[in-house]
Amino acid sequence: MREQLEQIRSRALAELAAEATESAIEDVRVRVLGRAGELTEIMRGMREVPAQERPAIGQLVNQIKTELEARIEALQGKLKEAALERSLTEARLDVTLPGAKIPRGHLHPITLTIENMLRIFNAMGFEIVATRDIEDDFHNFAALNFPPDHPAREMQDTFFLGGGLLLRTHTSNGQIRVMEQRRPPLAIVCPGNCYRRDELSVRASPMFSQIEGFMVDRAGRITMAHLKGVLTEFLRAFFGSDTAVRFRASFFPFTEPSAEVDISCLLCGGKGCRICKHSGWTEILGSGMIHPNVLRAVGYDPAEYQGFAFGLGVDRTALLRLGVEDMRLFFENDVRFLGQFPASNERFA
């Protein structure tokens, strides 16, 4: 019996060597100490042991049991420590490493241009009102005094949508939409996209941005002089006071008299380039005194009210202001190009 016990003990201890794996340890534990294990079996067979030897054998069993349990515990503790150590090294995080830089986006240069223009008009007391891109013939043409056979209505200019609807060809629909709803005094700017069936080129695009502006009050209060004053003030604020501005008599169905406004070409400084068609000047807006027929169309009495209106092309203005030579760059969305203008706000500041 004693020999048997010594055998169990030395075999178990040999198996519980320093490099024993978790499963090897568990095997020994079950085989020796388990409920049907070798030591339990011996205890069960105690009856056959002569009475005087029983206490000594019992003691030895307990001794071996305690010894093996302690050994197992020590080995398991070591394994646990090693596992923890391993996971700590693997997941090590160096908090002193520099972080990855997340590139920051910014508004499109055209959007920034619109915002800067609106800020100037707003500071002059103009209210900002957005109207609609999808329009009907009345608000885009008829109410603006376009005769039924006017060439601007033709297919090559206008995108017709069917059902009497079209994509607005200018923001002048904003005049009609606002005046239909409200009574003077009005000082309003309407920014928005416009659409014409033009090819995308160095200086034109089938979709472009305009800012419409108008000011209406009792007859005699608002004159052509106010129109010139407001626009000159705006252009000086936007382009700088050294930019030359000229008013040129023109024609629009919805204004009388009408004037187009040119500024000296900022790209070539007036020498002539492909953007200014080699004239040294660039046309950036149309304007005039609101035609009596337009006032009538919105239910105003032209003897009672009078006002001016203007429509400013944003894209070409942005192009000049930012020194870009080709309109197409604005619409190709190449981030290498767009990324050059994150500081546009500062340039306008």
Give the shortest CB-169-to-ligand PHE separation in angstroms: 7
Residue 226 Ramachandran class (φ > 0 left, ψ -120 to 50 alpha, else beta): alpha
In terms of CB distance, is 13 or 152 closer to ligand PHE? Answer: 152
Tokens, residue 140: 């885009």
Question: Judged by CB under 6 A, does residue 239 bind ligand PHE?
Answer: no
Give the C-alpha distances (Å, rounded to integers) separating 25 from 65, 106, 298.
14, 63, 95
Neighbours of 54 (CB within 10 A): 13
Tokens, residue 20: 């024993």
Strands, E assignment, the chain: 127-128, 134-136, 160-162, 165-167, 186-195, 207-218, 245-252, 255-264, 281-290, 305-313
Interface pick for ligand PHE out of 286, 295, 317, 341 (rule CB under 6 A): 286
List, as one string, the DSSP characters of 165-209: EEE-SSTTHHHHHHHHH--SSEEEEEEEEEE------SS--SEEE
Question: Judged by CB under 6 A, does residue 307 bind ligand PHE?
Answer: no
Structure-token match 């032209």, residue found: 302
Q: What DSSP designation does 294 have?
A: H
In terms of CB distance, is 254 or 341 closer to ligand PHE? Answer: 254
Binding marks (x or -) toward ligand PHE, 165..194, rule CB under 6 A? Answer: -----x-x----------------------
Binding marks (x or -) toward ligand PHE, 197..216, rule CB under 6 A? Answer: ---------------x----
In terms of CB distance, is 158 or 287 closer to ligand PHE? Answer: 287
Q: What DSSP designation does 248 have?
A: E
Q: Is 322 helix (H, G, I), strand (E, B) or coil?
A: helix
In terms of CB distance, is 38 or 260 closer to ligand PHE? Answer: 260
Question: Judged by CB under 6 A, does residue 126 bind ligand PHE?
Answer: no
**How far apart, in whole angstroms, are the C-alpha atoms of residue 201 and residue 266?**
19
Question: Judged by CB under 6 A, does residue 139 bind ligand PHE?
Answer: no
Q: How many residues bind ligand PHE (CB under 6 A)?
A: 11
In terms of CB distance, is 58 or 253 closer to ligand PHE? Answer: 253
In terms of CB distance, is 25 or 261 closer to ligand PHE? Answer: 261
Residue 332 Ramachandran class (φ > 0 left, ψ -120 to 50 alpha, else beta): alpha
Interface pick for ligand PHE out of 109, 192, 288, 307 (rule CB under 6 A): 288
Q: Is 247 helix (H, G, I), strand (E, B) or coil?
A: strand
Q: Which stretch binds ligand PHE (CB under 6 A): 49-57, 65-73, 87-95, 304-312?
A: 304-312
Interface pick for ligand PHE out of 174, 184, 311, 316 (rule CB under 6 A): 311
Give the shortest CB-288-to-ligand PHE separation in angstroms: 5
**Could you say which residues in the range 246-285 bind ligand PHE, by CB under 6 A?**
252, 255
Give the shortest CB-212-to-ligand PHE separation in angstroms: 6
Residue 216 Ramachandran class (φ > 0 left, ψ -120 to 50 alpha, else beta): beta
In terms of CB distance, is 8 or 261 closer to ligand PHE? Answer: 261
In terms of CB distance, is 170 or 316 closer to ligand PHE? Answer: 170
Which residues of the chain form contacts with ligand PHE (CB under 6 A)?
A: 170, 172, 212, 252, 255, 286-288, 309-311
